Structure 1
Amino acid sequence: LCCMCGISMPPNAANMCVNCIRTQVDITEGLQKHVTILHCPECNSYLQPPKTWIKAQLESKELLTFCIKRLKNLNKVRLVHAEFIWTEPHSKRIKVKLRIQKEVLNGAILEQAYVVEYVQQDHMCEHCTRVQSNPDQY
């Protein structure tokens, strides 16, 4: 029996049903849900701080990897799956749905999905800035 709601359930380390565990624990707490990323509109690359620019097309494997690496505290959970959620290309938003797992309450493993929204700020990379400032020089 669940110690919170009393329903019959198979025994587990937390002595709680999955629904009660979910109401008691939010494994996404402390994880970023909004991230700002710099995007060069000229060459379609993204800034990986401090100075590296990575070329990536929308919804590409490279962009998904870049987005996941930009998240802080993701090492506190286990990433199970990640996928893009479609957004209008002109919206300057990239949404990624992550499915994560974490051990909670006496060893019970909870799995939860959540969405991270990345806001693209246009910022020309060094190369494109140089080319645009003096096109005859290059």
Structure 2
Amino acid sequence: LCCMCGISMPPNAANMCVNCIRTQVDITKGLQKHVTILHCPKCNSYLQPPKTWIKAQLESKELLTFCIKRLKNLNKVRLVHAKFIWTKPHSKRNKVKLRIQKEVLNGAILEQAYVVEYVQQDHMCEHCTRVQSNPDQY
């Protein structure tokens, strides 16, 4: 029996049903839900701080990897799956749905999905800035 709601369930380390565990524990707490990323509109690259620009197409494997690496505190959970959620290309927003796991309450493993919104700010990379400022020189 679940110690919170009393329903019959198979025994587990937390002595709670999955629904009660979910209401008691939020494994996404402390994880970012909004991230700003810098995007060069000329060469379609993204800034990997401090100075590296990575070329990636919209909703590509490279962009997904870049977005996941930009998240802080993701090492506190286990990433199970990640995928883009479709957004309009001109919205300058990328949404990634992550499925994560974490051990909670006496060893019970909880899996939860959550969405991170990446807001693209246009900012030309050094190379494109130089080319645009003096195109005859390059």
Give the shorter-chain TM-score range.
over 0.9
Residue 99 of structure 2 aligns to a residue in which SS? strand
Shift of 1:39: 0.1
List runs of 5+ in structure 2 lacking aligned partners. none
- CA distance in 2 between partners of 1:121 and 1:84 (Å): 18
Residue 136 of structure 1 aligns to a residue in which SS? helix
Deviation digits for residues 74-130 of structure 1 (CA, Å, limit 9, x no counterpart): 000000000000000000000000000000000000000000000000000000000
Q: TM-score, normalised by structure 2?
A: 1.00
- CA distance in 1 between partners of 2:120 and 2:9 (Å): 46
Q: TM-score, normalised by structure 1?
A: 1.00
Shift of 1:11: 0.2
Root-mean-square deviation (Å): 0.1
Deviation digits for residues 26-84 of structure 1 (CA, Å, limit 9, x no counterpart): 00000000000000000000000000000000010000000000000000000000000
Shift of 1:16: 0.1
**Between Structure 1 and Structure 2, how many residues are aligned?**
138
Match in the other structure for 2:134 = 134
- CA distance in 2 between partners of 1:41 and 1:58 (Å): 12
- CA distance in 2 between partners of 1:119 and 1:28 (Å): 20
Give the % identical residues: 96
- CA distance in 1 between partners of 2:124 and 2:113 (Å): 34
